[in-house]
Amino acid sequence: MRFLLIEDNDELARAVADRLALDGHAVDIARDLATVEDCMAGASYDLVLLDIMLPDGDGRSFLDRHRASGRETPVIVLTARSQVSDRVSMLDLGADDYITKPFDFTELEARCRAVLRRRQGTARNELSFGDLVFDPLNAVVTVAGERQDLRNRELRLLEVFLSAPGRVFSKSQLVDRLFSFSDDVSENAIEVYVGRLRKKLRASSVQIETMRGIGYRMTGP
């Protein structure tokens, strides 16, 4: 998954980004609203983590514009404001959830998972297709009940395919979902990760099919 973290505190921003990167997520950091617009124009995101107090304005103005433009990317607000009225106003503006600073990283991760599950229309952590089951919380993949060991980037690639079985993803779309702006990668890297993932899923009835000249899609039995 690719996240946009909007936070002007360098220490907190780096700590959150590093923690999410341990789970294989790509994280772009924007420290002001001007940078946010550049990021949103250049990439698509699975989740936005939004601080309210920013150097060049209020994060709520971004949230208001974000929803008014029809964007459906989920937003979790990171706020030091604990008053009920503040939290209610942010939810009314279109925030999917909020977490009050200071927060525990495990709670932040749990809220991210919960918001993404709601967006995917499921109440469970597990994603499944055919004989393939993926538990993102515990980073466990099983094929016909047998556990398979995948590295973080392979897990995230699998998660992208499982989020929309049958959908064709181009190489550029997969790069966009798996890597941040700070990652120096080419589309050839996708071929490498797809190849690794195929090898680890070869005992499965599920396949990652190459659509020549277009991209890849996950197909079932």
Task: List, for residues 21-45, the tens digit of each pLDDT value.
Answer: 888 899 999 999 999 989 998 888 9
The C-alpha torsion from 158 through 161 and 162 to 163, rounded to 10°, is 120
pLDDT at 90: 85
Residue 165's pLDDT band, with cuts at 50, 70 and 90, is: very high
List domains and CATH numbers for the chain: 2-120 (3.40.50.2300), 127-219 (1.10.10.10)
Q: What is the DSSP letter of 137?
A: T
Q: Backbone phi, then psi, for 119, in 5-degree steps?
A: -65, -30
pLDDT tens, residue by residue, 94-152: 999 999 999 999 999 999 988 988 876 654 568 889 999 998 878 899 998 999 999 98
Question: With 0-12 CB in 10 A as exposed, 13-18 as middle and 19+ as buried, what is 107?
Answer: exposed
**Predicted confidence (pLDDT) per residue in 77-107, tens digit:** 998 876 788 778 888 889 999 999 999 999 9
* CA quadruple 161, 163, 169, 173: dihedral, nearest 10: -110
CA distance 22 to 161: 20
Query: Would you place residue 196 in the very low, low, confident or very high pLDDT band (cuts 50, 70, 90)?
Result: very high
Q: What is the pLDDT of residue 18?
A: 94
Within 65-159, strands assigned E span 75-79, 97-100, 127-129, 132-135, 140-143, 146-148
pLDDT digits (tens, 9 = 90+) for 171-190: 999 998 899 888 888 889 99
